[in-house]
Structure 1
Amino acid sequence: MLSMSLINHKNTVQQITFRLMRELNMTKVFGNPGSTELNFLNNFPEDFEYVLALQESSAVAMADGYAQASGNAAFVNLHSAVGVGHALGNIFTAYRNHTPLVITAGQQSRSILPFAPYLGADHAADFPKPYVKWSIEPARPEDVPLAIAQAYHISMQHPRGPTFVSIPSDDWDKTTQMPNYSKVIEGTTPTEDAINQLLQALENSQNLAVVVGSDVDRQGAFNTAVKLAERLQAHVWEAPYSSRASFPENHPQFAGFLPALPEQLSKKLADYDVILVVGAPVFTLHIAGEVDIFDSEVEIYQITDDPKYAAFSSATTTLFGSINHSLNAVLDKLASLSNSQSDSFAIPIRPATLKITGSTPIPVEYAIDLLAHARPSDSVIVEEAPSHRSVIQRFLPITRPNSFFTMSSGGLGYALPASVGVALATDKRVICVIGDGSSMYSFQAVWTAAQLNLPVTFIVLNNLGYGAMHSFGKIMNSQSVPGLDLPNIDFVQLANSMGCDAARIKEHEKLPEAINKAINTSGCYLLEIIVDTKAGAI
């Protein structure tokens, strides 16, 4: 409990806000400054760090990567309604990623708001909705620190996500006092009756599958999920388009990655009699079709703390609770039960990893295989190469918690700046594997990495276009689609212009040495790999 002297001591809104941010461990501010933010940034504290992004969408993605890697909400400061507009794509991604962010934006001075001023935002708090958990423009300047405290705690409550506070520029100089904000203790589990119902289904199952999603790793349940799968002797699948790796992909019980295509997903799960989905929707799909498994005899159970995951599911029994607490509660119950599957369990048959040899043009399989063997074992992968995701999943297995990040929204422009945020939160080498098309959405984040001398390696897989769109064109029988080719982009010159060393490789025989240099440099480095343009599939 704060002492009464601290609660009643009045300072400016800005001073109280900085004190509050220290208490909440939000001393990094991600942003791109504008006139309506100058009063907030005036005499910026020496113990704070301002992480400058060259575009607001990049600022949000940097904060997203930092928040996910650190486990605490990150603070973002955007410039007025226009800055929020620029940032909306990655605000949507943060919402889908369950990333805790406190996003603030400058608003014009209160005294001139009634007169439609330049940069003034009508209904500013409504602008980022519905892709924030909570949004407000405080009624009084004195309420700004409390609103930020409330935004922090709402963002950190599961399911986590971004919150938004619009702040008129003249509020910062007014006086207020430290808010006596509440503290929140997290940790919920399903009811005992719900757990018993699930346990009965698990005990009676003769062929059980566990599907793990992003919230398993996000909520620190990676190792708990391994214990549960081993105790149940279940096959484990990664949920479609999961943005985190939530199970060791080299574990003998790991069966693979579920597709987001209805018929293929149903086919992979059709032989199971019980499916337990943990920390993921049931199920994320990319194209329309019949999901036959919903009309079958297969029993589907779900553990989640996201009410939308429950509401949007079909043919599913949902248990509500924080992921790690819920899995531990199930494990505690299982300790006293016999394992009915021990005699029938079989290791899933997975395709063997082929030995890849080099050729020119460079096969993307060869490039990813070299990267997998050369990278430091504790490095962190941030990925946004949709054309090559299946290859990355096959040849670059993720085996540790908190070591893989991508976007769950499908919106491009996330991974490159997110890798900067991840690097700020960890002392490990961060490797951003990204396509040429994806990188152009937020390439300016390379400048931030260079300015801060961060240990980030950018691997640009250049297939000279939007390879994922070519693949979808085949699936959807689309022909003569314009705008899919991206010739004549020189990523080396772009990186050099932003202060980042870079190289381009076209010949396979030069690739091993180039990859070793890229991941063993002291600061940031960009390696552009010209890969076979015929490669790439969804």
Structure 2
Amino acid sequence: MTPSSLTVRESVLELLRGLGMRRIFGNPGSTELPLFLDFPEDFEYVLGLQESVVVGMADGHAAATRNAAFVNLHSAAGVGHAMGAIFTAWKNRTPLVITAGQQARAILPFDPFLFSAQATELPKPYVKWSCEPARAEDVPLAIARAYHVAMQPPCGPVLVSVPADDWSRRCEPVPPRTVGTSLRADPQVLATLGSALDACEQPAFIIGAGVDRDGAWDAVVALVERHRARVFTAPMSARCGFPEDHPQFAGFLPAMRERIVALLQGSDLVLVLGAPAFTYHVEGAGPHVPAGASLYQIVEDPEVAAWTPLGTSAVGSVRMAVQELLLRPAPRQRAMPARGAAPPRAAPSSPMSVAFALQTLAELRTPEQIVVEEAPSARPVLQQYLPTLRSETFYTMASGGLGFGLPAAVGVALAKPQERVIALVGDGSAMYAIQALWSAAQRRLPITFVILNNRRYAALQEFAPTFGFGPGEALAGTDLAGLDFVALARGHGVDGVRVEQPGELRPALQAALRSQGPALVEIVVA
């Protein structure tokens, strides 16, 4: 066999070109340096100042492009730093191809400095697949396989460990190939669902992140309008899959069994699209749906379908399944469900309420501007006062782990440079990945960072009664006094302003939403 003229590095870069992955997200260490020898001009290295920031940026970028992002981490230490963000990418169903450096093969028997003893085991169980190729020549094939595994629904991160001396070895080229990823749900199950949907009296649809991930927004709106169903957003959904100003939108389901059942009361059929049925946060008891209601589900993840406690599940593409349901003859007309009441106007106060801050932001931003959110204690207020109106304009984390919002906003802005991105982040969340401000500043990205500063871990304090804490009882480790986000922003190269009075808010937000590069508004809220 004639030796190839390509090195592993050259073969991998050519593969990435063919797969549309010309951005490399990383924070390099010594074992990664050989990848960047003669770094090509048509590639961009997106530097994050900490590995969790790197993975968070890649998570936002992959979600916004619907294509896997390429991540380069440093051996065991870098993967360890990034594990919280990898867990979030796993829960977000985000396709990431993660490479991790490894020491040179020749010295691996001697437990060298900066090596990873069990490189393929370290990221488990929060990767779909991991590999350290047996031969240097197999690295491009491993990365090609990793890409297709990451992109196959349910999408998720994968990891390939690459010894440092592999990049210079000769190998055969690996041309990119097409692997279909849209899986059709069982037609017989869909026919059963369609018949039940036609025959029911008061359907309720539960919309999850899988709707927007699969590009099913328009088809779902059409199906909702056809069947005059009430629509709820699934608990802990990381995306929005339905316009929240639509007259059939009924609100958000909490992650509590009894409250879900209460809100669904009156429905005789519950259809869950692109979500588990259901994600719970606290213990509960009793039925999962109201008495007399049948449960149906369309989801891309067979494991989620397997643990769903009752009802009928169709596994496959949400978009394709809904499109098939729309091909059925039009059902008889039902009465329209009652429209929910609008929230009351929030009044200015000092200190400001979160409701007033988000109401003002909603009045100033355009529907096309993208909100990347990580403000857990403010989320119920956001759901009332900052509605999502368009597809692909809302991203948050499904994991419950902090550190997603700031870096994900950078990744989304890189993916969609024509759109304004609004990073809406709590003060506690912001401190997990504050270094992302530097990455935004270096590229002059059009991001408006809005920090809601309530000087505490409010979500924990508000959740404490669930675990037996009495009213006003002190909760250790939840006060966050003394943080200055304007100083932190300027230290990373981002202009910032602190707003404490309601009269200052509108002009500050207007200026930040018009900024050519990144700008930060710290809002002191009650």
Cα 1:418/1:351, change in 2 over 3 Å:
same
Cα 1:317/1:207, change in 2 over 3 Å:
same
Cα 1:77/1:127, change in 2 over 3 Å:
same
Within a 5 Å distance, the mapping from 1:91-240 to structure 2 comes to 91-180=86-175, 182-240=177-235
Cα 1:449/1:362, change in 2 over 3 Å:
same
Shift of 1:291: 4.5
Return the alpha-carbon distance in structure 2 between the equivalents of residues 248 and 96 of structure 1.
23
- Please say if residues 269 and 294 of structure 2, whose CA atoms lie closer than 8 Å, have aligned partners that are also in contact: yes
The code of the aligned residue for 1:23 comes to G
SS of the equivalent of 1:465 reads coil
SS of the equivalent of 2:288 reads helix
- Please say if residues 247 and 339 of structure 2, whose CA atoms lie closer than 8 Å, have aligned partners that are also in contact: no
Cα deviation code 1:416-438 (max 9, x no counterpart): 10000000000101000010000
Within a 5 Å distance, the mapping from 1:348-387 to structure 2 comes to 348-387=338-377
The answer on 1:339 being equivalent to 2:319 is no
The answer on 1:417 being equivalent to 2:404 is no
The code of the aligned residue for 1:365 comes to A
Shift of 1:304: 1.0
SS of the equivalent of 1:494 reads helix
**Counterpart in the other structure of 1:327:** 322
Within a 5 Å distance, the mapping from 1:363-512 to structure 2 comes to 363-426=353-416, 427-478=418-469, 479-512=473-506
Return the alpha-carbon distance in structure 1 between the equivalents of residues 459 and 169 of structure 2.
52
Cα deviation code 1:268-302 (max 9, x no counterpart): 11321110101000100111111423583321000
- Please say if residues 28 and 51 of structure 1, whose CA atoms lie closer than 8 Å, have aligned partners that are also in contact: yes
- Please say if residues 495 and 520 of structure 2, whose CA atoms lie closer than 8 Å, have aligned partners that are also in contact: yes
**Counterpart in the other structure of 1:268:** 263
- Please say if residues 106 and 169 of structure 1, whose CA atoms lie closer than 8 Å, have aligned partners that are also in contact: yes
Aligned to 1:515, which of 491, 497, 509?
509
- Please say if residues 52 and 83 of structure 2, whose CA atoms lie closer than 8 Å, have aligned partners that are also in contact: yes
Return the alpha-carbon distance in structure 1 between the equivalents of residues 274 and 367 of structure 2.
26
SS of the equivalent of 2:511 reads helix
**Counterpart in the other structure of 2:79:** 84
Return the alpha-carbon distance in structure 1 between the equivalents of residues 181 and 301 of structure 2.
14
**Counterpart in the other structure of 1:536:** none
Return the alpha-carbon distance in structure 2 between the equivalents of residues 460 and 113 of structure 1.
46
- Please say if residues 264 and 289 of structure 2, whose CA atoms lie closer than 8 Å, have aligned partners that are also in contact: no
Cα 1:180/1:379, change in 2 over 3 Å:
closer
Percent identity between the two aligned chains: 47
Size of the aligned set, in residue pairs, is: 522
Shift of 1:182: 4.5
- Please say if residues 15 and 176 of structure 2, whose CA atoms lie closer than 8 Å, have aligned partners that are also in contact: no
Return the alpha-carbon distance in structure 2 between the equivalents of residues 486 and 199 of structure 1.
52
Return the alpha-carbon distance in structure 1 between the equivalents of residues 115 and 258 of structure 2.
49
Worse-superposed segment, 97-106 or 293-302 = 293-302
Return the alpha-carbon distance in structure 2 between the equivalents of residues 167 and 9 of structure 1.
20
Q: Which runs of 5+ in 2 are unaligned?
A: none
Cα deviation code 1:372-402 (max 9, x no counterpart): 0111332100000011101111111111111
**Counterpart in the other structure of 2:55:** 60
Shift of 1:186: 2.6
Shift of 1:62: 0.2
**Counterpart in the other structure of 1:73:** 68
The code of the aligned residue for 1:131 comes to Y
SS of the equivalent of 1:124 reads coil
TM-score (norm 2): 0.97
Aligned to 1:14, which of 9, 18, 23?
9
Shift of 1:352: 2.1
Shift of 1:248: 0.3
SS of the equivalent of 2:120 reads helix
Return the alpha-carbon distance in structure 1 between the equivalents of residues 244 and 299 of structure 2.
22
Return the alpha-carbon distance in structure 2 between the equivalents of residues 40 and 416 of structure 1.
27
Shift of 1:181: 5.8
Aligned to 1:250, which of 230, 236, 245?
245
Shift of 1:403: 0.6
- Please say if residues 367 and 390 of structure 2, whose CA atoms lie closer than 8 Å, have aligned partners that are also in contact: no
Worse-superposed segment, 472-481 or 68-77 = 472-481
- Please say if residues 146 and 181 of structure 1, whose CA atoms lie closer than 8 Å, have aligned partners that are also in contact: no
The code of the aligned residue for 2:190 comes to I
Return the alpha-carbon distance in structure 1 between the equivalents of residues 5 and 218 of structure 2.
47
Aligned to 2:305, which of 304, 310, 319?
310
Return the alpha-carbon distance in structure 2 between the equivalents of residues 133 and 97 of structure 1.
13
Return the alpha-carbon distance in structure 2 between the equivalents of residues 475 and 125 of structure 1.
39
Shift of 1:189: 1.8
The answer on 1:527 being equivalent to 2:521 is yes
The answer on 1:290 being equivalent to 2:282 is no
Shift of 1:99: 0.5
Cα deviation code 1:316-356 (max 9, x no counterpart): 21111111111111111x2x2x423x23x233342322122
SS of the equivalent of 2:168 reads coil
Return the alpha-carbon distance in structure 2 between the equivalents of residues 497 and 368 of structure 1.
26
The code of the aligned residue for 2:51 comes to E
- Please say if residues 4 and 170 of structure 2, whose CA atoms lie closer than 8 Å, have aligned partners that are also in contact: no
Shift of 1:191: 2.5
CA RMSD of aligned residues (A): 1.5
- Please say if residues 376 and 429 of structure 1, whose CA atoms lie closer than 8 Å, have aligned partners that are also in contact: no
- Please say if residues 249 and 339 of structure 2, whose CA atoms lie closer than 8 Å, have aligned partners that are also in contact: no
TM-score (norm 1): 0.95
